[in-house]
Structure 1
């Protein structure tokens, strides 16, 4: 059986979006001929919330290795919190010793802590072991260049220059790319002559229905909405950001029109945006409520920036009357959270760039309604189109979507693991 060393600094019990690819795949790797060794950073040295239930979803025989990192309590004095940079020397030392044993066939970097992927090129040169990078988000991107400082990520000046230097180091030696978006693959092919279309595979995150079983079995609750209240609770659980402004304005414009034209229906709507910031608890910037206020619907909109435990977010989806997903203005953005929304079996309304894969998935599976926009779409036009699709959904509540589960099967965790392994096999052959 072949062996893959998986570098995933944020891993259960850490609650972070970039760990779910590996977490969902671990139960199936051996079935397809691969023994996996996930290498995480000590959870106590990762500045993210922990959800102990995440660890219970791992296979009992999962061979998870833990390495250390520089303690953020000390590195913060130097302005360094990045887990990739803090763990880099430890991954270098322990990974080099592990690969020297000669029984690892592939290194797989599945993380948005991209800086650690430069080790793939070093290990390949020293030991001849190929490596694959999972591109879940853009690494080096010009998206925020020229935008106002308040719309840029924290420490953008430093991270932009660091990424501009490190990305070529990793990508000029890579043997395979797995990505959630074709757009990310196209960008890398344009930048690097060594990356060819046959090296790239677009594989969305897999859907794991077992997570909802864990939630139910452990009696998880949430404090944000009362399922028995006489309101229509519309929920979004996930990150916010200035890149979602177009979708947010369209949604809140539709809510304003609805309150004016169908007050008996829309005045019951309460919208909850939960976990919209990755900042430490209590320090997140609200990016949703200010737009609601501009649109005149702030009384119906609540934003809670702090991240919440993963299984609490699943409980929130299941308790909601209706779910809504605002999409990024970036056409390559794919919401990895889409599958829990579908598995919650609640009505879903998504507002996304017309080129996002979310649109195709919702339409193929008939699990929800997608309203699309592009750079030329006027806000009021978008609001009116949202209203046209939203009103019939609200009037029909409560109901369960008529999801085509046969069409959904290719998006399950097992199916996505099989596609990852096909990439592994192709690389090592």
Structure 2
């Protein structure tokens, strides 16, 4: 029986997006004969909310949790990242676990990137291969050439640390799993390496939707109103998204001004920040549509977010200017069976998947100039969908099978076996 150590500091019941890959995959791993241990941080130290529904289910594999330095103390000296606050505790606990269980593979599946440095340390000490799951870029260059006032707080310091730690760690990894082809390609080019990689999108589970119905989860954002068209976006508004979102707002504003339609847009969980602030509303104000927009920047429970999707008439996806952008949110979107209006980069995997699944209009662009020329096409697509009341997607489920939770877990296992055999 192969033994897998998963490093996921924000493992359930913490409500963050970076644990869902392993939350959904681990039951399949166990079913297929793997012994799985998860190393995580006690939820109270994570600065993320607890999902009450996930808390009900308890832990479904061996889970070891460690403490961390409290953020309330470390933020006084400018240190908030969980990876730094829990690094020593994770190192100590992980070292003991490896001595006890003789793992075949270590799998870092998290966006708490500083913890990934432990892979190199444990590999040198115990000769165990490790895989990095790059769900987002570790070293984020997006703001590098932006004016200081457009950069997040402490961006230069964070970029400096991320650059050094990524360079110290990545070249020693035995494998890279990523949600986009852009991540492993960029890393192998940056460090002149040839690390084996697998592009495996996130998955979603139909069982989660069954839980929402069974437990009668409430919608914390809105109650349906007769005659109103409820349009929903759940998930973060990412750095590459403001320009497409502004164009989408302009299209809706034009439709509202030219019709008597009661349309309202809801943005849920739009900010990653612990102290979430509105991101969509300032863009809406720029367009003059803020009267028709409600934003809940803080994260709601995972299952509450599903309920919001189920209560929507249709879903919007303003994509990113980044061709490498991929969105885990599209899988629960698809499983909601709601029509999706998407505005995405033509090279993004989002475009390919949504078109293949036939979830609704997918309008693509290749650059800013092409994007800005798409407003009329976008307006027409929205009007047609509303006029024909095509709110339930005619989903191609045969195409979707390639992106199901079972398929994605199987692809991870195949990659694990590949890496183990290379040792």
Q: Give TM-score, length-normalised by structure 1.
A: 0.94
Q: Which residue of 2 aligns with 1:418?
A: 410
Q: How many residues align?
A: 421
Q: Could you tell me how far 1:102 is from its partner in structure 2? A: 5.4
Q: Extract unaligned runs of 5+ from structure 1.
A: none
Q: Which residue of 1 aligns with 2:218?
A: 221
Structure 1: how far apart are the matches of 2:220 and 2:105? Answer: 44
- The answer as to whether partners of 1:133 and 1:177 remain within 8 angstroms in 2 is yes
Q: Which residue of 2 aligns with 1:11?
A: 11
- The answer as to whether partners of 2:256 and 2:262 remain within 8 angstroms in 1 is no
Q: Which residue of 2 aligns with 1:22?
A: 22
Q: Which residue of 2 aligns with 1:278?
A: 272
Structure 1: how far apart are the matches of 2:239 and 2:136? Answer: 16
Q: Which residue of 1 aligns with 2:201?
A: 204
Structure 1: how far apart are the matches of 2:64 and 2:362? Answer: 41
Structure 2: how far apart are the matches of 1:16 and 1:150? Answer: 28
Q: 1:148 to 1:394 in 2, by over 3 A?
A: farther
Q: Which residue of 2 aligns with 1:119?
A: 118
Q: Which residue of 1 aligns with 2:386?
A: 394
Q: Could you tell me how far 1:392 is from its partner in structure 2? A: 1.1
1:40 equivalent to 2:40? Answer yes
Structure 1 residues 158-173: aligned runs within 5 Å: 158-173=157-172
Q: Which residue of 1 aligns with 2:129?
A: 130
- The answer as to whether partners of 1:3 and 1:104 remain within 8 angstroms in 2 is yes
Structure 2: how far apart are the matches of 1:383 and 1:149? Answer: 31
Q: Give TM-score, length-normalised by structure 2.
A: 0.95
**Equivalent position SS for 2:407:** helix
Structure 2: how far apart are the matches of 1:192 and 1:28? Answer: 34
The partner residue of 1:235 within 232, 236, 249 is: 232
- The answer as to whether partners of 2:6 and 2:106 remain within 8 angstroms in 1 is yes
Structure 2: how far apart are the matches of 1:112 and 1:369? Answer: 31
Q: Could you tell me how far 1:418 is from its partner in structure 2? A: 0.5
Q: Could you tell me how far 1:385 is from its partner in structure 2? A: 1.8
Q: Which residue of 2 aligns with 1:175?
A: 174
**Equivalent position SS for 1:187:** helix
Q: 1:82 to 1:186 in 2, by over 3 A?
A: same
**Equivalent position SS for 1:394:** helix
Structure 2: how far apart are the matches of 1:374 and 1:355? Answer: 8
Give me the CA root mean square deviation: 1.6
Structure 2: how far apart are the matches of 1:195 and 1:57? Answer: 41
Q: Could you tell me how far 1:33 is from its partner in structure 2? A: 3.2
User: Which aligned runs of 4 or more in structure 1 are off by greater than 6 angstroms?
Assistant: none
Q: Could you tell me how far 1:57 is from its partner in structure 2? A: 5.3
Provide, for residues 278-308 of structure 1, a one-character-per-residue CA deviation record: whole Å limited to 9, x for no partner.
Answer: 223xx43322122222222222122221211
Quick check: 374-383 or 411-420, which moved more? 374-383
- The answer as to whether partners of 2:39 and 2:94 remain within 8 angstroms in 1 is no
Q: Could you tell me how far 1:377 is from its partner in structure 2? A: 2.4
